[in-house]
Amino acid sequence: MKIVVLAGGLSPERNVSLSSGSKIAGALRGLGHKAALVDMYFGLEDYPGLTGEGLYAASFPERWQKVAREAPDLEQVKASRQWAGKGDFGPGVLELCQGADIVFLALHGQCGEDGRVQAAFDLLGIPYTGSGYLASAMAMDKDLTKKLVAGRVNTPAWSFAAYSEKDVDSLTSRTAVPCVVKPVDSGSSIGVSIVCDKKELRTALMKGLRHGGRCVLETYVKGREIQVGILDGKALPPIEIIPKEGFYDYENKYQPGAALEVCPAEITPEQTKEVSHLAEAVFEILGLAVYSRADFILDEAGKFWFLEINTLPGMTPTSLMPQEAAAAGINYAELCQHIMDSSLALRG
């Protein structure tokens, strides 16, 4: 098949996405497919002089394969695009996608995981991997997700705040600590802060302004981090994440050796069954399709708390979904093929 692996884009998670895309495209080529890896925002700028079939054999820039310790400066990214056109689709991207058998979405975050790209592809008749536009949009919004699933699964108490700098002091005074401050529509733990006192809370809220000033303020639950991949609506073996320092933030997610990852998680068979059912329930409630990954905390009393769900889980060398699939006997390339097959059956 001819496959466009769409990565990058204009999101704080673009570097993670490019790493996912590089590994996916390499795996697909290893399976005998023609796979073109394209940065959604820069388009064909990355391949000067190449068009058509040449893109399906082009080598990938080495800088795309590793994730830097810090998220990119998006203003610098915007300034570096040579093309004068507007919008998030770079030159030649849509035309290339329209000529492919399927687009493998390796996008993460607001650009590609929030339903807008999926909606555009639906209108253009372009088959793509993963959930549809509406489910993607709902799952990307942490506040809406929690509202939808709260009747079926335990989720920490939370409030949503859309605020400006003038609101920070009053929001700080009325919010109980300890709590977790997280952007309502971001991933990879970008902008997430665990705060223990009011001073830390104020600092976290000021930091949140850099991510749009739209945050979920969630009661902090101490416990073990358990994450569950879902493939075709069925849970994969859960994985436990044990950061060597701090919590499972952006750096600990993508720097090799920064966290201990235990898969299958060392929890009881009854707990495995319970958290699997909870993950599958969230997947079903939101109307998700093909694959995703749900995040939980297992507290000291043995109770699971749902945090969020990711509709396009990372596929980098350190990502969790491939590790869970491997524990179920599905290697990386087989996982990529399975995702494509299920997606084509859904909308091909």
DSSP structural state of residue 277 = H
Q: How far apart are CA 73 and CA 14, in angstroms?
A: 10
DSSP structural state of residue 298 = E
Q: How far apart are CA 297 and CA 141, in angstroms?
A: 19
Residue 57 has pLDDT above 50, yes or no: yes
The string of pLDDT tens digits covering residues 219-238 is 999 999 999 999 999 999 99
Distances (CA, A) of 105 to 118, 209, 344: 9, 29, 13
Q: How far apart are CA 310 and CA 290, in angstroms?
A: 12
The string of pLDDT tens digits covering residues 146-170 is 999 998 999 999 999 999 999 999 9
Q: How far apart are CA 13 and CA 309, in angstroms?
A: 16
pLDDT class for 6, splitting at 50, 70, 90? very high
SS3 of residue 318 by DSSP: coil
Pairing of strands 214-219, 158-162: antiparallel
Q: What is the CATH number of domain 140-153+221-330?
A: 3.30.470.20
What residue spans define the domains of the chain? 2-128, 140-153+221-330, 158-219
127's CB contacts (< 8 A; 6+ apart) are 101, 102, 103, 121, 343, 344, 347, 348
Q: What is the pLDDT at residue 50?
A: 78
Is the bond into 264 cis (omega within 30 degrees of 0)? yes
Taking Cα atoms as reference points, which of 248, 188, 180, 186 lies closest to residue 211? Answer: 186
pLDDT class for 73, splitting at 50, 70, 90? confident
Q: How far apart are CA 137 and CA 196, in angstroms?
A: 31
Please, what is the angle between helix 332-347 and helix 14-30, to 10°?
90
Residue 250 has pLDDT above 60, yes or no: no
CATH architecture type of domain 2-128? 3-Layer(aba) Sandwich (3.40)
DSSP structural state of residue 181 = E
CATH class of 158-219: alpha beta
